[in-house]
């Protein structure tokens, strides 16, 4: 029975690397995968999914208007798919998460979603909230805070490295804009009591 999985973590936990490894494992066994990532993340200079350790792959891009059920079903009818892998899953809409569940339930295709759980203010992203609510399996990937504890929060910083506590929920960036911290150091950095 196919399942909907949500692999979540803070920044720098290896989500994209883990996705690319899972894709490799499927393809190495002669299975067909379909990769997706958020269209708004345009940092990758060659291929849409790129990890910090240098792995990369081609992927379809989704935005809020993408009908994942229709797009994947069309491809699956042409050549059966064995797995769907979605990077930056926090940017899925609630409806798209339900489409992923339908792909697992009705089409019988495992759907592996990888993304952040919370934003720079500790608030859930819409896609992450839906995935936490309905995914069959939740897997937390671990990053490490500078103190050695598990990093579960994403601190946004400005160009000088100072904490940013307000702003738009989505601002694309990497190590120059975000620091993964444990909850204690996150609270201290933004002055949250």
Positions marked active-site:
88
Q: Do the Cβ atoms of 11 and 179 come closer than 8 Å?
A: yes
Q: How far apart are CA 188 and CA 53, in angstroms?
A: 30
Structure tokens at 130: 């839906």
| 106 to 27, 93, 121, 152: CA distances (angstroms) | 23, 20, 36, 34
């Amino acid at each position: 029975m196919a399942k909907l999985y949500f692999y979540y973590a803070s920044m720098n936990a290896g989500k994209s690397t883990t996705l690319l490894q899972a894709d490799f494992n499927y393809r190495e066994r002669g299975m067909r995968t379909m990769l997706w990532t958020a269209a708004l993340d345009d940092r990758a200079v060659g291929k849409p999914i790129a990890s910090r350790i240098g792995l990369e792959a081609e992927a379809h891009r989704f935005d809020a208007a993408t009908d994942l059920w229709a797009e994947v079903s069309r491809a699956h009818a042409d050549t059966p798919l064995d797995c769907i892998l979605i990077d930056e899953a926090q940017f899925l809409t609630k409806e798209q998460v339900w489409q992923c569940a339908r792909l697992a339930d009705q089409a019988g295709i495992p759907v592996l979603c990888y993304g952040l759980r919370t934003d720079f203010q500790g608030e859930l992203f819409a896609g992450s909230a839906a995935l936490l609510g309905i995914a069959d399996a939740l897997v937390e990937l671990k990053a490490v805070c500078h103190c050695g504890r598990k990093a579960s929060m994403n601190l946004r910083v400005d160009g000088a490295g100072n904490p940013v506590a307000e702003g738009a929920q989505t601002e694309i960036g990497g190590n120059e804009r975000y620091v993964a911290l444990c909850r204690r150091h996150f609270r201290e950095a933004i002055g949250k009591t």
